[in-house]
Amino acid sequence: MNTANRPRRKVYVAAGYNTVSMGTGRKEFSPKKPRPGLEDYIQQAGRGVLGQIGGAKNVDEGVIGNFMAARFNSQGNLAALIPAIDPGLQYKPCTRTEGACCSGALALMSAVKSVLAETAETVLAVGVEVQNTVKAVYGADILATAGWSRERKAGHAYFFPGKFSDRAGAYFQKHGRERTRKAMARWYRNAIENARLCPTAQEHHNTAKDLEALAMAEPNPKSFVEHLNFYDCSKVSDGACAAAVLSEEGLRRAGIPKSEAVEIVAWGQVEADLTRAPEDPTRLETTRQAVEQALKAAGVATDRLRTVEAHDCFTIAGLMAVEAIGLAKPGEGPDFVLAGETSRGGRVPVNTTGGLIGWGHPTGATGVHQAVTLWEQLTGKAGDCQLEPDAKRPYGLSINMGGDDKTVVAILYRKGG
Amino acid sequence: MDYAQRLENVAVLGAAGKMGSGIVLLVAVEMADLGLKPENKGKKYVLHAVDVSHAALSGLMKYMREQARKTAEKRIVALRAVYADRPDLVENRDIIEQYVCDVLDVIRPVTVLEAACEANVIFEAVSEDVELKARLLTRVAADNPRRPWVFTNTSSVPIEEIDAKARLGGRIMGFHFYNPPAVQKLVELIRGRTTLPEVAEFAQALTKSLRKTVVPSSDTAGFIGNGHFMRDLLHAIAEAERLSREMPFVEAVYAVNRVSQDFLVRPMGIFQLADYVGLDVCQCILRVMDPRLPGQNLRSPLIDRLLGLGVRGGQNHDGSQKDGFLRYERGKPAGVYDPEGKRYVPISEFQATADAKLGPLPEPALAWKAAVRHPAREKVLADFFGKLETLRTPGAELARRYGARSREIGLGLVRDGVAAKAEDVNTVLLTGFFHAYGPINDYFSEKVAR
């Protein structure tokens, strides 16, 4: 058993808050009208948490996950936007984390480690990204910095869709295209159907009828990539998510009963060499390592997972994550999804508020959003998205991935108390 | 001289105008793309953008910068391959900036007409005035030893006539872009009797490369597009004048405009379209057509009168609509001009009365946008016009007469050999005028027109 990935002291997550994931698809979104900025999102999410934990006086430390505000918003020094949430946070220690799309989970891990180090009882963890400041064609440049810069020149105009298109192509070749393509379409349908239940989701207003048929659209490599269509991709999103990471003492101070919090049971935090291509493009090896570490450290098998928050930046990444978790053998992820096992009524519902494709993917916020969703699900606060609790399957697992399976954090939760 | 060599030196006359600027954009992009091909490395592609005012040319260059950027953004996937040998261009942003520079680098904005004498190909897009066209082309192309090929963007003047007046010896062809040229897919190609075959071949190659929908028209004043539009407009004016014996003039104009849009499922009413084109442009076109097509009475005293009163239509520089037959608020008709009172009467003052007189639309109503997007477009249109046929209201009656007249005009264009076939007439109206259905259809029978 790997004790390094298990807390020596109880650590909880509670008081989650998500802003709307704003972008195309939301009725109120208009690219031509002025929109809230980075600090507005941070403040809304931060204040949403402070309101649930008795205010800023109960916060010992702040941490903010963000990928590339330096380019999306010409803003650096993001830790200094935490005191802008509330005057009570002025002069408290704050940190910013960056690990591309895994920045949010790195913020959570930073918070967890502060609580474990006993330098804080309560940490306010925020994740944020505001990406609609630039057109998608320029946003692709910014997001490409999650890859190795030396690969940019030879890379696709839409760099990451290009990377995962290549992975999809390799997967099609190894395991067959038709079945995989259908499973990708089903993944999209599940994402949208779940997002429709969640008022903050970017696809909440989606009313398209035959989602699977829509998602079977042939990719157009002339204007996009070879093996993915637009439905296979998460959208461009603005949003922030926040939660409190607390010790038992932190919970007591905040007046939150353990039953209203989730406990972090274990985690896997894994980094792979940015300069090396994946050995097998049909598998997410780093993700597999992270999940394995978390599950091993907790001594928990996959049959005890009630729900999973997977990093489906692309539908194909969702299918590969199912295999990396061990829910299906390599090459059998599509069958698992097509059998309905990841759907709301299936064995392990995945991404119950829509995931990156349905809820949205404000890159730096995603890891925190996953924690908030699992907190809601495991404590019965998920509203229309709520799953029936199952005593035999008390765990929730989140996987947040930065870049092409490079920076990965998997966190295992269960209801506190 | 092959296609790429011929495009090494081009001139556009009237480059800063509505049509000219679109032509500059399309051709400059085509030239920049040629210049970026490995086999053309080292060759210099030059487009002389000739116009009369420096201010207008500044506006042209601003438009070009914006449009070249949009073009690059849209074509980024292909452009990354084009610039693959440039290690300094890494991000999409770098490549887009470079492409904008490469396109702008082709263009030489000038006010001196003689710059066009260097060109192998001259696009002419000045106003619809035969004498002006002939005068300019004589100066730059008639005795030019380079023997440049001329493509005139006329929408009405017979090519053979310009050829004779400018002494071009068949080095000319009609190349009628629709407005705006960069967006509109349709090009009417008009080959005069004297047009040299190699000139026609080049025009075909260029339209293919620009991915345009080509419809050939015979060299008859007005061609297919204005051949239909002008007669359609004159029918509308005649109907409005007839109605104005029973109702105020402004109501009659409103009624015909509404019928031609809502009852006929067109993108805009006929008087709004005339305003969009500009009443001055309509007058010019009619003045070209009328004497060349005798016995058809292709003139409008009403348009002449309105222009005399300073009512012109057309667009402002920002693309917004100027007032003409109608007054516009945020792009939508809000008033109708009364030439007696010399003022615009707000539509709200008479709309309810006029609508009541016209009677209801067939149920369910079919908006143009819904029709063009409908997967079973022909069926919904047939249903709509089938119901229209059964309505005994003044609105339905006007619409039936209108649809039948439009059909008759279309058939006339085929009968007179202006269009080679009915499909060509329909393509022009569907593509160039964004109609939901062609004028030659089964929705309106001829007996109604009679």
What does the pLDDT look like over A185-223, one tens digit per residue? 999 999 999 999 999 999 999 999 999 999 999 999 999
Token pair 């239909």: residue = B228
CB half-sphere exposure, A83, CA atoms < 13 A: 11
Choose among A331, A326, A316: nearest CA to A290: A326
What DSSP element (H or E) covers A377?
A: helix A366-378
pLDDT value for A2: 56
Residue A5 — pLDDT band, cuts 50, 70, 90? confident
Mean pLDDT of B246-267: 97
Per the CB < 8 A criterion, the answer to whether B131 and B164 are in contact is: no
pTM of the model: 0.91
Rounded to whole angstroms, how far apart are CA atoms A231 and A332?
22
Q: A70 pLDDT exceeds 90?
A: yes
Percentage of chain B beyond pLDDT 70 is: 99
Phi, psi of B36 (to 5 degrees): -85, -5
Residue B322: exposure state from Cβ atoms within 10 A (0-12, 13-18, ≥19): middle
Any A CB within 8 A of B66 CB:
no
Nearest beta carbon to residue B87 from set A153, A221, A224? A153
Interface with chain A: mutation pick from B91, B96, B211, highest number of A CBs within 10 Å? B91
Residues written for chain A: 417
Q: Which residue has the tokens 């928990």?
A: A300
- What was the pLDDT predicted at A232? 98
What's the CA angle centered on B160, arms B159 and B164, to 5 degrees?
120
Instruction: Find the residue in A nearest to B78 (Cα).
Output: A222
Name the residue facing B76 among A137, A144, A153 (closest C-beta): A137
Q: What is the mean pLDDT of chain A?
A: 97
Q: How confident is the model at residue A8 (pLDDT cuts 50, 70, 90)?
A: confident
Question: In whole angstroms, what separates CA A380 from the centre of its chain?
Answer: 20
Q: Is B25 helix (H, G, I), strand (E, B) or coil?
A: helix
- pLDDT, one tens digit per residue, over B109-156 is 999 999 999 999 999 999 989 999 999 999 999 999 999 999 999 999
Does residue B93 sit at the A interface (CB-CB below 8 Å)? yes
Q: Give the ipTM of the model, two decimals please.
A: 0.92
- Which one of B77, B87, B90 has the shortest CB-CB distance to A222? B77
Write out chain B residues lying below 8 Å of A221, CB-based: 77
Residue B87 near chain A (CB below 8 Å) = yes
B91: chain A residues, CB-CB within 8 Å: 141, 144, 152
pLDDT one-digit tens code per residue, B341-371: 999 999 999 999 999 999 999 998 899 999 9
Write down the pLDDT at residue A1. Answer: 45
Looking at residue A75, its pLDDT comes to: 98
Q: The tokens 């407009």 sit on which residue?
A: B233
Q: What is the distance between the alpha carbons of residues B140 and B50, in angstroms, rounded to a whole number?
A: 12
Are B149 and B179 in contact by the 8 Å Cβ rule? The answer is no
Task: Compute the Cα dihedral for A84, A85, A86, A91 and give only its sign.
Answer: negative
Output the six-digit token pair for B114. Answer: 């003689």
Cβ distance of A137 and B90 shorter than 8 Å: no
Residue ranges of alpha helices (H) inside B118-169 are: 130-137, 159-166
Q: Cβ–Cβ of B90/A152 closer than 8 Å? A: yes
Kindly state the tokens that stand for B23: 């032509």
CA distance B13 to B152: 9
| pLDDT at residue A32, as a whole number | 87
Question: Which residues of chain A have a CB within 8 Å of the CB of B73?
Answer: 135, 137
Which residues of chain A lie closer than 8 angstroms to B93, CB-CB?
138, 141
Residue A71 has pLDDT above 90, yes or no: yes
Q: What is the pLDDT of residue A3?
A: 63
Q: State yes or no: pLDDT of B63 exceeds 50.
A: yes
Taking 3-state DSSP, the helix, strand and coil percentages for chain A, each rounded to the nearest 5, stand at 40, 15, 40
The confidence score (pLDDT) of residue B440 equals 96
By mean pLDDT, which of B99-108, B295-304, B436-445 is the weakest? B436-445
Compare all CA atoms of chain A with the CA of B69 and give the residue at the minimum distance: A137
pLDDT exceeds 60 at position B217: yes
Instruction: Select from A141, A222, A223 the Cβ nearest to the Cβ of B93.
Output: A141
Whether the per-residue pLDDT at B450 is higher than 50: the answer is no
- Burial label for A33, CB within 10 Å (0-12, 13-18, 19+), is exposed
A248 vs B: CB within 8 A: no
**pLDDT at residue B23 in the model:** 97
CA–CA separation, B36 and B79 (whole Å): 10
Give the residue, A254 or A5, on which the prediction is more confident.
Answer: A254
CA dihedral sign, ordered A228, A229, A235, A236: positive
- Pairing verdict, β A12-18 and A262-271: antiparallel
pLDDT of residue B449: 45
Q: What is the CATH number of the domain that holds A30?
A: 3.40.47.10
Q: Rounded mean pLDDT of B301-323?
A: 92
Contacts of B76 in chain A (CB under 8 A): 137, 157
A232 vs B79: CA distance, rounded Å: 24
pLDDT confidence of residue B320: 87
Q: Which residues contact B18 (CB under 8 A, 6 or more apart)?
A: B179, B180, B315
Which domains occur in chain B, in start order? 3-217 (3.40.50.720), 225-449 (1.10.1040.50)
pLDDT digits (tens, 9 = 90+) for A143-181: 999 999 999 999 999 999 999 999 999 999 999 999 999
Report the chain A residue with the minimal C-alpha distance to residue B79.
A157
Arithmetic mean of pLDDT, A131-136:
97
Q: Which domain holds residue A252?
A: 1-417
Question: For residue A328, what pLDDT band results from cuts at 50, 70 and 90?
Answer: very high
Residue B318 has pLDDT above 80, yes or no: no
How much of chain B, in percent, has pLDDT values that exceed 90? 94
Query: If contacts are CB pairs under 8 Å, which of residues 147-206 in chain A contact chain B?
Result: 152-153, 156-158
User: How many Cβ pairs within 8 Å bridge chains A and B?
Assistant: 30
DSSP assignment letter at B432: I
Contact A144 B73 (CB under 8 A): no
Per-residue H/E/C for A318-343:
HHHHHHHHCCCCCCCHHHHHHCCCCC
Higher pLDDT: B450 or B118? It is: B118
Structural contact between residues B362 and B356, judged by C-beta atoms closer than 8 angstroms: no
What is the number of domains present in chain A?
A: 1
The pLDDT, as a whole number, for residue B446 is: 55
